[in-house]
Structure 1
């Protein structure tokens, strides 16, 4: 909205211009520009970038999905649908490239921000001399807001004492609400951040759902801006946590799709492909590749498996439907504020759909996600759960590989691969005032763009459309030039020429290089030598789904593209290649402080996930709890984790009215409770000892110095479990103990808690970090 009379913004600018044109001439050359002279004008477009996590190419209506997305259909019908948009194969790299316009390895994000091998491409914080889209826009007067998943800060820098220079507010955003981590529970997020501080939630309401909460926060930001300034343009970067695992949805959204997927993945994939042909998303004559050999035949599955697998996909569809509903709420708000016509709305995904749920899917995502060398073959990657619980707050689920293949229709393979299934994503751009996708009479296909566009092109494109020049420097250093190229001409006209001529891709040794016609790609085998490369060659103009390898027919083309990949790999700091073997578990020596003993006092906010995990993972640990009891006292003394895995120590009252302590371990959804340990009244000192054994087993002992109770032979909590950090005096956030939470909520301890002290032991020999240290010591003989 913009005022046009003398009392509005235009009037103020006109009055100021008149003043500056007379008296102001005498001093204008000796003073800096006034803020009003630098600000973007009231006609500058707002920008809304909506990024979804792990959404496949075919998962929304405009790209052929049966999932109902009426709001995205509306944006597509009035905008541009880019059918040849490419990302990186993984989330953090795509986010870094999107916000900077620079290739991900060059800005320190070759991989998600959850390791630290020490290579330049794995710095996991954006370089000081690389401005973000938000920083360039804010410098001209835009308000800049973000909600959702950040994942551009290394996990070692997310705790309360961390340097916040890589957090959203320090990288160009005025306001932020979401999670710095790569994923979280949609029913009970493990750690939310509001601006620059943790946002503590003791208990989540039964109907809490993160997608809806993020939408509410985004609405509040826009409403607050418009109440204060009717004209100031804004950027909203809405980075959904959905539909990354664990996949979760509201019960009514799951129920809506209860019967939709019983036909199975092969049939749904065929149906999506037919709709893509009808919509013009894929060209006539395109071949639908054969199904992945690891995807079982639907008809060969038992009835129980079909029911469970259909429920997984119904959950996924429900989560996508909630995203579309969020888009609708934003559209309605922008219409109400008068901003819709002059708002550039971008909707896309950060990579292709994923196969990380495995062949059978899982109801225990953190067990499935435990990627640790030496994990025994009998490791249980699933837990038994009633069908109706799948997708709800008591499960952490992910859909099977077969549904991931449906998500990526018509392409091969998945997230993490440099084949099209990993790097092709939907892209919809809507801007009525910019007349994008306005069809000529009789030519509704004008809204389709089949030109190659890369994720690094988004920031240059949006800046050009907004009429904003990128920052020339940051912190006194010249800004890194864009690797992306503005696609504004492509969005404006279907007759434009391709502007992004060639692009490399790499993750975990998987590599590709493509031009408008040709693409070479290699699928790296973990542990294999990187120089043992078998490049495959595809003619994308005739074979966009990469079904026919032409390397044997065109060796000169392969050699030319392989040499080009090598050149740009050196330019972009891709080397050394890392397939996330031993080196990926290395941590900088200063991170050892996270495993030093710590005393946690009552009232301390919940500790951050990574900080908490270092105290107990892959090591023995002693936990000392000192407190005082009166008759009738009880509650949770400490809790670490949630429904995906964790442990808890609590005081209750037995049938005789006597106080007893019990320790509980939630082993990825399977709950183990100790026998009760009888307590007296008055001062108490309990000790919990965690003992890590070979083959990733765990014993837990609870003792008062005289008596003890023991749980033996449990699986260790590994990888991302426990996910929710340590809280003392209550079971805050997502509950470890569902039954206790159902009865008592977070169950605050009613006695007097003095302290909880963690005393970690040394790492076990099979700990990834210890194996990495031994590997690194052995590698020194080659120095």
Structure 2
């Protein structure tokens, strides 16, 4: 949808911070625009379901967000991409996800234009446009818009936040991180060198502190310059963690079970007009009943465990609201609250990654393309009271994800409404417009042009010496001004071959990949009349075959225009990676006491392969501490010297294995850790000193996918500890009483179980697309 006629972008002129224009602005008569350009805060929450905030029916306490909704606009028909990176790319550029390079999250690189997993050079971000228009631009939190292979410290930084329009950045470049002990933090263009996190550290609080600090430091030097703050929460993506004080607040609140809570949320939604009166709550089997056990059939132990998962999730959402409150309080103190636009949104629907029973071993079942063998433990039995704390990486069960997505079907990565229908709130007290509910269709790509129009800043017309890609999104300022204005008419969706097209009141959905023989518009399509059936409970495809065929063909046309192809129609697309990554698997020497080697760079040395760690060390009789550590409480391994003897630790997704060798003689010696793949995705880990085996652990599960998550550190155990017992005694257990002379990782051949296919994927196809 284009900007309304006569309501084009107004450029800044003269003193920064003042609106000036040669013609009437878009504000409807007799209103006048604010005298100063507004500050803008966009807060994006990770994996938050449609009903998880108070204004959308939640029982979770979100008083600050509630107040934003009360004096702003609540969008009940907002849709986003089915997964996080595609949504973020569209939000920042106003370009559809695949055209922005993100047909999937930034953990693939098959070599096609729609899956580059980096923003196109010709697509200016909203931060770049706003900075050119006189704004200070800040970002805290999750980036997730850079290829994994370019996250390490020697990588090309052209796709990092500062190179894409932000003056300041602090957060996690990766897709998620632990909140108590983040695996890696970046400030501006450099990794944060922190040896040990203090007790009580919590990332949500730290991000809020940093955001407020950026505002404070700007105001110290410039009282008038408007700012843009993009606050991208890492919460509530798994592993779901929260602070004890907030978890305690929700004790006992979820003992009634997921069906009861879902029904209560739906009733509040209908009462508040969030969903129309004629909407119905999808029942089983449409509502994924085969994936969700009946609450009454659970044992008391299971109900307590599952309720604890949701208590932690609720606490994490509560903490997001607290961050909103702290930012608003800061603006109130400086008198800037009135003229600050605040946007709250989710990047996709709630996630069912936890599975039927949830998991206390997040990495045992997340992020791997390898099918686990029989007997693989995906939920290590641990004390439920540890869920949410620093000792455990957890994800809530599918039953609670369904509650999060009330009243819709399915979950994150689906093209049903549960995957793409998300909350959106916009507040701007100084706007001469009345807020309220808006039921027009708005898409995530519409946010950038809308905010640019509200700010009075023109989007950049070129970038990197070439004309800017035209935005696919359109300003919805007219929708803010007029509850009867028209919203977006059409939008395509795609995720791993699942397809959908919304066109007016109709939605066509195909939730299975078409076969190559069927073609892009082929396969089984469902059809829903969203005006009559907003929760997709009645497939009317058989009654409207011509409409189904026409919408499938229009989806194909949209897909060609948006570089969606090739579809993952065989399930092999994401197994392809460029051969240019192969040097990341060459032997490497690491320096003691430096920040840990980045996660993906570390994984290329160890995951799905045998490998050796050669350590030359000079020991004194008092030598003690970690020689090398890789991983955290979600899985990892560690070699330390304790009381003169080598201690080998292997954390198998939460199951601890330890072995101790004989006391070592002082002096120079070579210590070698050998990790050897065995059958059924298991391995043997041993340590040798001067050629003599000292200790071994055999038959343990290999660490796959995203584990080990925290990168390799030498001389101490960075971040979330591999072994909590050692951490309680020695904290990060820095090595003392000798010298670590040399540490060298020597990777072996890739496992036969590794499905990755390396090929010479060039960038020529991207150059042609550009």
Give the TM bin, normalised by the shorter chain: over 0.9
Find the partner of 1:723 among 686, 697, 709: 709
Change (3 A) 1:200 1:527: farther
Asked if the contact 2:410/2:419 (under 8 Å) is kept, the reply is: yes
TM-score normalized with structure 2 length: 0.92
User: 1:530/1:233 Cα in 2 relative to 1: closer, same or farther (>3 Å)?
Assistant: farther
Unaligned regions of 5+ residues in structure 1, if any? 1-9, 17-39, 439-446, 654-658, 775-783
Contact 2:513 2:568 in 1 (8 A): no
1:695 alignment partner, one of 676, 680, 685: 680
Distance 1:174 1:287 in 2: 47
- Residue 538 of structure 2 aligns with which residue? 548
Does the residue aligned with 2:391 lie in a helix, a strand or coil? coil
Deviation string 1:439-469 (CA, Å, 9 cap, x unpaired) is xxxxxxxx00000000000001000111111
Provide the aligned length of Structure 1 versus Structure 2: 726
Helix, strand or coil: the match of 2:577? coil
Secondary structure in structure 2 of the residue aligned to 1:106: coil
The one of 646, 658, 664 aligned to 1:679: 664
Alignment partners' CA distance in 1, 2:378 and 2:15: 64
TM-score (norm. length: structure 1): 0.91
When residues 560 and 707 of structure 1 are mapped into structure 2, their CA distance, relative to the original with a 3 A threshold, is: closer
Whether the 8 Å CA contact 1:140–1:468 is kept in 2: the answer is yes
Partner of 2:483: 494
| Aligned pair partner of 1:524 in 512, 518, 533 | 512
Please state whether the residue corresponding to 1:97 is helix, strand or coil.
Answer: helix
The 8 Å contact of residues 530 and 577 in structure 1, kept in 2 or not, is answered as: no
Match for residue 634 of structure 1 among 624, 631, 634 = 624
**1:437/1:492 contact within 8 Å kept:** yes
Structure 1 residue 769 and structure 2 residue 762: aligned? no
Give the aligned partner of residue 211 of structure 1. 204
CA distance in 2, matches of 1:238, 1:579: 36
Cα 1:539–1:688, aligned 2, differ >3 Å: closer, same or farther?
same
CA contact (8 A) 1:694 1:766 kept: no
Provide the alpha-carbon RMSD of the alignment. Answer: 1.9
The one of 714, 720, 742 aligned to 1:755: 742
In structure 1, distance between residues paired with 2:554 and 2:569: 21
Partner Cα separation in structure 1 for residue 74 and residue 751 of structure 2: 52
How much does 1:117 deviate? 1.2
1:235-254, aligned counterparts within 5 Å? 235-254=228-247
Aligned to 1:418: 415
Residue pairs, 1:51-70, within 5 angstroms: 51-70=44-63
For the structure 1 residues 528 and 57, does the alpha-carbon distance in structure 2 shift closer, same or farther, using more than 3 Å as the test? farther
CA contact (8 A) 2:513 2:523 kept: no
Deviations 1:190-235 (A, max 9, x none): 0000000001222112211111100000000001111111100010
Query: Compared with structure 1, are the counterparts of its residues 731 and 385 closer, same or farther at alpha carbon in structure 2 (3 Å cutoff)?
Result: same
Q: Distance in 2 between matches of 1:13 and 1:621?
A: 61
Structure 1 residues 389 and 758: CA distance shift in structure 2, 3 A: same
8 A Cα contact 1:662 1:677, kept in partner: no
Cα distance in 1 for residues equivalent to 2:734 and 2:515: 48
Q: CA deviation at 1:600?
A: 1.0
Whole-angstrom distance in 1 between the partners of 2:753 and 2:686: 22
Aligned-partner SS, 1:325 = helix
Runs of 5+ unmatched residues, structure 2? 1-11, 19-32, 761-770
**Which position in structure 1 is the counterpart of 2:607?**
617
3-state SS, counterpart of residue 448 of structure 1: strand
Distance 2:570 2:628 in 1: 34
**1:254-653 → structure 2 map (5 Å cutoff):** 254-290=247-283, 291-293=287-289, 294-438=291-435, 447-498=436-487, 500-524=488-512, 531=519, 533-578=523-568, 581-653=571-643
Distance 1:255 1:616 in 2: 39
C-alpha distance in 2 between matches for 1:210 and 1:152: 20
Change (3 A) 1:13 1:623: closer
Distance 1:773 1:140 in 2: 43
How far apart, CA to CA, are the structure 2 residues paired with 1:54 and 1:515?
25
**1:437 CA displacement:** 3.4
Q: 1:42 to 1:146 in 2, by over 3 A?
A: farther
The corresponding residue for 2:5 is none
Contact kept, 8 Å, 2:515 with 2:523, in 1: the verdict is: no
* Residues 686, 693 of structure 2: 8 Å contact kept: no
Separation of aligned partners in 1, 2:517 and 2:663: 58
Cα deviation 1:483-534 (Å, max 9, x = unaligned) = 0111111112212222x21000000011100112100001116989764511
Q: Distance in 2 between matches of 1:372 and 1:332?
A: 45
Paired residues for 1:83-98 under 5 Å: 83-98=76-91
The alpha carbon displacement at 1:773 in A equals 6.8
